[in-house]
């Protein structure tokens, strides 16, 4: 479903830019502003489920931001002999030969990870 959703938005989004720098800037906006607003609202409402989702989302976004920065520095070398793994529960992205035994964000086991194929070069 995640891949279908991503394809839907890819088809609907105008191709204005694929620059990593632009993606990093958008992620930084989320990290520095948007997550804190959502966390504050969920705390005011005492909504533990929303707080957990915000916490997971913020952690996954920081990791994605870090991976994009690494990709910007290393390019395709980052993926040599590695695969891209996505946690279908929280959105954590892992680069390695195999999926981690346990997701560091939501703590599910490796069977909840999918291998992401069909890489697109960002420039």
Taking only the tens place, the pLDDT of each residue in 38-52 is 889 999 999 999 998
Over residues 67-77, the mean pLDDT reads 89
pLDDT of residue 123: 44
CATH architecture, domain 18-116: Single Sheet (2.20)
pLDDT of residue 122 exceeding 50, the answer is no
pLDDT of residue 14: 64
pTM of the model: 0.68
pLDDT of residue 56 exceeding 80, the answer is yes
Helix (H, G, I), strand (E, B) or coil at 89: coil
Q: pLDDT grade, residue 35 (50/70/90)? A: confident
Q: pLDDT grade, residue 103 (50/70/90)? A: very high
What's the sign of the alpha-carbon dihedral 77, 69, 6, 4? positive
Query: How far apart are alpha carbons 39 and 17 in whole angstroms?
Result: 30
Helix (H, G, I), strand (E, B) or coil at 46: coil
Domain edges within the chain:
18-116
């Amino acid at each position: 479903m995640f891949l279908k959703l991503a394809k839907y938005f890819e088809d609907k989004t105008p191709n204005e830019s694929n620059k990593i720098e632009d993606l990093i800037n958008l992620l930084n906006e989320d990290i520095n502003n948007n997550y804190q607003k959502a966390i504050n609202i969920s705390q005011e409402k005492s909504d533990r489920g929303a707080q957990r989702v915000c916490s997971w989302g913020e952690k996954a976004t920081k990791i994605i931001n870090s991976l994009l920065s690494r990709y910007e520095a290393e390019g395709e070398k980052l993926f040599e002999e590695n695969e891209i793994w996505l946690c279908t529960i929280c959105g954590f992205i892992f680069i390695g030969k195999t999926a981690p035994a346990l997701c560091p964000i939501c703590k599910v086991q490796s069977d909840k990870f999918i291998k992401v194929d069909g890489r697109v070069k960002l420039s």
